[in-house]
Structures are given as C-alpha cells and as structure tokens.
Structure 1
C-alpha cells in the first residue's frame, strides 16, 4: 500500500489529523492497534479549548459538539468551606470552554472518516516504522495473520505514551523529562444530574476533588487518593461520602448520588519527550507529552500539535514550503511546555502533598489566596485555561 502520510494511532489526535488532511486532498492511512469499539469505550476528560473547538469545526466535525456541548464561561474553586468563581470569559478577553466528552469527540471523528471513506485500519498488530532517516520511510504491521507494508513520505506517531513511535527515536537523540506525583485520581461516572453548572475544583485537607460532567444527566467526579489504593478499596457509598466531605456543605447537600457506571484510578504524571521530530517521523499528543488532568491540557495540547502538523503538511504539499515541517518540534514544544507549567501549577496549588513541610503548606494556601484576590492572577489562569493561541 502506498500513501503520502501514515498515521499510527486511532485516538482523537490521529483521527483529527487524518480528517483535516483528507479535506485538503492529502492521502493518508491510519493504523490503530485496537478495535473501534475498544477505542470508543475509553473514558477520558472533555474540557475543550476554544481553539480545539474551531479545529473540530474546520474538520467538519463540530455540529454535534456545538449542539450538545456545554459552554462554560467560568470555573469554581472550593476551599475552606466556600466557593469562589473565576470568570473565564471576563478574564480571558471573551473566550470560553466547551465541556464535551472525549468519547463523543472520537465518535464524531469516526463518523466523519466513514462519510469520506477514510482509510482507517483497526487491529493492526506489531506496527513498526522503518527507514525514518531516509526519504522513503515505511511502516509494517500484521493483521489477520498476514504481514502488510505501507510505503509513505511521512509518519505521524499519535499512538500514545505506550506506543511504538516514540520508542523508534534512538536513545542518543531522545531526551525525556518527567515528574511522577505521589497520588492518583479515583474517578466515578454516574447517571446523575451534575451538582454544579460549571466545574468545581476543590482544595481540602483530605485531598483534592473535582466535580465535572458529561451532560445534564451524566456526571464525572474525582477525588485524590494514595497510589496504594485500589478501586476495590472504594465502594460507591465510601466514594460519595468522601466526596461530600471535601465539598462545601451547601454543595454536598445538593449532590445527587447513584451507582457508578465506571470507576477507575489514574496515576498523575508530567512528561515531555524532545524532540518531537526525528527524520520523517513526527510525534503528536500523548506519544510526546503527558499532563496531570488538573488543568485539562492533555487532549487540548494534542490538538495544538495537530494544528501545527496539519498546516505544515498543507504548506509542504500545496506550496512546497517546508518551514512548518522544519520548525514543528520547536514550535510544538514551546506551547507544550507552557501547558506543562499551567498543569503543574494547578496540580501543586490544589492537591495535598503528603511530604509537604508546614512552610510549603502555607505557601500553597498563599498561592490560592493570591489567585482569588488578584485580577492579574485570574487573567493568567483564564487565558491558560481557555487555551493559549496556536
């Protein structure tokens, strides 16, 4: 099989790039290790920057998002038994975010690929990129007991943290930066009315909590837990009791509880791989960077990678201009590190760190107090939360 671009990874990043390139007449093939049902069963966050939303519309995939997504102009921060609201729309200069589940984003992208007869190959095992330093790279994979080869001009690695793409960059070239946090998030999905029309980020002596939503009848809640905890340690009743404990009394009183549809614990990590290009291979999304979910940067930072790659490929094929390809890694990483700073800041300000000294605890309290008392600090938070310019 021959194509211009081979994309490894069928999550939202790979699907979005495939769709955008197809609309510009750039031939591409997408390889995904798992089945479509498996990909759509993943439960992920769903706070979309305004720039991500524009990119979905440009891809012809924004109609349902605009119809069903929840536009949020602000967020709440809970602390010391009270709620304070950060007006994102006001302090960012008029921008907002859209709450729309990543599963729904992925479903919309799949539907768009189907309408255009996009080349998406599922259950592609043992995917391997080859000859990345040449002008004729190729990708091999197995499917149905047979070996296959895709000859291409460029390879996009959008196959996540555990994928093969980043591992194909030689150790002497790849630089990795990582911080692993000493706690995780226990998340519960429930068919209950959300407790708040906008997200609540809660700072409490027992640990962080987050009240989020997928729709007006589907809620997503999280509490900070030790890494030693397991899902089996937490019954639904125990989860709801601890969540209520970490919220202001009036919020806890109106919290609707119910059986969990899904329950899981996610460890928190900050990670960046440099460079994001090696020869004819380009990394995007979780293949190159991981964020704590506190600041909702993961999917949105992947979208900025796709934005840069999409425009670079269009310039290459339509204008014979390689400046975007040559500058991709530097440009993408500049925005990635700003997003890393923001997610690190949100995480360190709102979570309880078990090894903190009293001095560090007081600094943490002071950081939050400063945010809530300063228009300049609120503006800095708002512009990062709704999304920095691409």
Structure 2
C-alpha cells in the first residue's frame, strides 16, 4: 500500500509539473506582465541548458515570464493527461517522431525553412503538410571510442570521416574483446531500431502506409544484435547492461566503442579529465535516425499567451544568443539549428570531432512522425521480437518472426486499431 501511495504521489507531481508547477527546473526569474508555461523533458545536463536559454530569453524580453516545467519521466503520457484535462502548457517541447500524435492539439505555425542550415530540419516539423512546431535543436548520433583500448589491442582507430560498414564494425569489435575482471567488450549492446537504420531499413514505408519489418535490412539487424550478445559475441547482453551506464563503461575501458553517443553528452565528455583519450567518429553504415526537437504552442492558449509563446519560440529557435547555449562545455542538450551558432558548438570541445554531428545532419534519416497506431505497433513489435528471438529471451528464427510480425503490423495499420 505504501508503494502504491508513493507511486500515486509521484504521478500527481508529474502532472502538476505540466500543468504549471515547476518540478526541479528552478525559478527562471522574470517579472513580466505575461506568464507562459513551458513543458520539457531531459536529464540534468539538458535541464541546465534549457534553464540557461530561458534566462537569456527573459533578459531579452522582460515583459514575459516563462515558468519551466521539467518532466523527468513519462513526458508524453503526462502531456497527454494535461491536454485531456484542459491544463495544457502554453509551449511544449515535442520530438518530430511524436508530432503526429499531438498535432491536433497544437496551433499551426509559420516556419521559414531558410532560417535553418538544412532543409530536413524544417521539414521534420511538418505533419500532413502543415507545420505544427518550430525546430529548435537537432540530435544526430556519433560513435564514441576509447582510444586507450584500441592502443592496448594494437588496433587502428576507425576513420574520423568515413563510416565503417556493419560487417567491418562487427569484425573490429570482435578484435577488441579482452577477457578479464571486468571483461572488456568491443562495443555497447546493439539496439534493433538503431541497427535497422544502420542497415538502411525502417519500420514503415516513406508514406507510412506499409510495414517493412520483414525487409532484408530488418533481418540483418536482428541477426547482428543476436550475434553481438551471443556467448562468443562482442557486446554485453541486455541483462548485463540493464541499469548500467554505458558511457561510464566506455570511460573506464569496459567498452571500446559506443555507437549511440548523442550531442547531449558533449559537455559530459568535455569535462572528463582525460577527455583526449576519447574520439568521435561516424556511426557505422547508414547512420542513426536523426531526432529534431521542436517547440509547439497549445491550441487552447489565450491570445495574449499565444503571442508571448510565439515570441519565446522564435527566440529559442532562431536567436543566435539562445542557440549558442545548446552546446557548451558546461551543459549540452543538442545541436543548434541555425548557422550562426555552429561555431559555438564546435568550440565546446575543441579537441573532439564535434563536426561529425553536423556532417550527420544531411546524411541521417529523419525519424518518422508516428501516429498513435504506428507507435503502438512499434512497441508491440519490439516486445514480440525480444520474447520470440534471441534478440531477447527467445529462440525462434528472426526471419520467420519478422515476417509474422510484419503481417500482423500491416493488418493493424490498415485497420487503424
């Protein structure tokens, strides 16, 4: 009973945060005549970055106060709860992959594509041909490597500009495994979704009407995940990695390669006393899907709050002073989306190959904006794949299972259930 009461209290606190009570985000200051609420997610580093951007906005616009609502768990679920309850935040952070689920609750906005240095950044905030959010940060991936592990093994580092093929990556990772206490693994655990993209595949067709889980790329991705975590593989099993900090394993030499390194960890890397022992290189194969986070304005915001919200969103998305705060040596959230702020991001960790993140912007696949139906399907596929194949605890053939799941996926997608 005590656990149930605590869980209910935690849920209530999260909902209160989205409704307008700051939970851990701190008081942004400001004494303006208009107050708007702003819901966002993130770890400590990302929250620190967001608060710095809010402070910069309030300094430039003293007539507007922003109440930050930092939601640390179940962000989208809590956002949906407040929308349904009529207490939606005036501005909400939203990922391009989730935009489709919330578009009807946001105000359509005008987005000038030329404000951003890549066309796909602006395009990511469209759903059914309409902009429902303004992009303010982009999150590509890089592969972080521990140079000392390579040196001890007498193995050359990967290229800083050319991605490894998936097969070359697997071969390299195997060559870096070293038994001991603790064991050194060649790579972090592989995720099926990331490796599906690395092999050039996707969950759905470009128009979102066809399920593509039975593609050759999907089978190859599943086979690679299984081979990596096999007893003679090169990565820890999901059970071994459960609850563990893979970035921490990389920094202590338990991992040689970490192909899921996001820009939100740049400051963390820069602050390491031995940061020069690590390098950033491209993700193997076709790379990872790229996430773009936008800022959306609630369709229920009053006219004065909507006007203030637009001022806030425009500042966060296009003002160089705000954009330069996205990636610094002290805190990082993601990459800037305007050209004028690129130099600041590169200077956050000048000894590191930060340029690899920007190169990935034009190379990466944009994560699709899933409808609620597609999101439910994707969650079911992941669960079934894990339970039925050695991606998780099962033993069935990945090719057969993926074919079965794709058929079920298509039926659900066609029916809209």
Scaled by the length of structure 2, what TM-score is found? 0.25
Select the structure with the greater relative contact order (CA < 8 A; seq sep ≥ 6): 2
